[in-house]
Structure 1
């Protein structure tokens, strides 16, 4: 029997239905760790799943085609092998990985109710999802740094941003993302998931998986907060710090107009996820479907297209 195809499972009786479905085994505090989980999609909006999936699907197709085209054009056109365009290529690649690691799973839940996911697959999805999020923040930071150098030191631009430095920056970005996310994966692997094997989301999320553990997850919560502060928030602070250190008011205004857009993109891109993560952590009373929609809305929507457009037109 399919989890979401049973006609008895309405939004008001979701929990009761899950308890009687024969192929779902929910063990409460039994000490047995689940290795298979079931994704509910968006509880309370089950009858709207098909409609909700349409903007996600359209945005995913646009992100795939648009970013693939950007990568192809940059790699095949020798005149675009400058620092700005190489960083742009990195950002486009990260966008593809981010959306592909998440959106197909969401569409499978929304369209054909394929809600089963193994623990290993769930953790793998978490790794690629969150490491790519951190990578994108780092790429946006170095793109802002690139514009800062071009504005403040135009005559030294080529000598500062050499191909060797760009390569090292790219390696540093991905080492930072993997280095901060691997401990999260290890902290998850140590947990015993015995409260429930039902995840109230369309994809695997750290804040959804950790609470179904019977173990103490305070270290998971605080480490997640540390990762947020040491990556996304730090990137925003570094961009603004560099801009406001410029002595010339005219140059500072020009740099703020250029680099400020990177800050806006970071806030728009990460804001909804940060908001829903912390309100869920500290138990603010917000409808579950609002949490889920906000936590997923930034994945398929290529908000960073504003930066890509700006770079291509400059």
Structure 2
């Protein structure tokens, strides 16, 4: 299949449509505005519906309604817009409604900037809204990966009846790369016998709800959700890793930052420093187990992010105190450089950081 050159936001929309998305409810915000623009043009061509809501709050509640019918539905936004959607996302998680949510992160807090950032890690991996819930979180590092995981996200949302989050950043949304639209994977998915499609006189009516006034019923529901999340943790961890067994230093990075880190690793190798990489592709569930393969004689682990260090907690949990954990990061839309990462790698390898 031929590759096509596309901007990231538009590629997300094309992948969603190919995966069977029929409804998109959103609101424009930089740097993801090309996504709703694309969907407004292309969804009607396949019998779908695009609707620009009056706000992000309205958009996510429209997602709730469409997902309740069993339809494949998506919304997208950027950091402050995703913050506004958090109430609706926790409602979708509580009601077990499958949907896909795209966050092209920008600098914060507050309105921040329109430049790329990774400062929504806490929000994405720790829930973001109220209550005991989680969402699968994919963190692609290229437009091709973004396309692939958008398609996969719809299947996983249906398989587990859960919201799935694509956590990218403004760089992925705005840059252009050649992408290939592969045929979606064929997996066995459960019937949506829970959906509200009208009884047609053939069954009792379904109720889509996240409200449980009886404490015992709510606890039972939460424990059911917890069992689902444990299953996801067992089956859905995805990561890239290399060079761990003999590494002097191991870098941990995700998304577009990992591409910068790979350049720094090449520079390190030219200087005779062995550097491994762990790149989480699912930020939740997090790939804790792969950290056990790090060379026990490694000098340290360097976490690199476009934030003030939000992934460090997960890295510290993963290394279990066996290695010192260091940090290299920029925030507010600034981007780490290979040279600055190389400097830290040299210091760690030399035992002076």
Give TM-score, length-normalised by structure 2.
Answer: 0.26
More helix by share: 1
Higher RCO, 1 vs 2 (CA within 8 Å, ≥6 residues apart) = 1
The alignment's TM-score, normalised by the length of structure 1, stands at 0.28
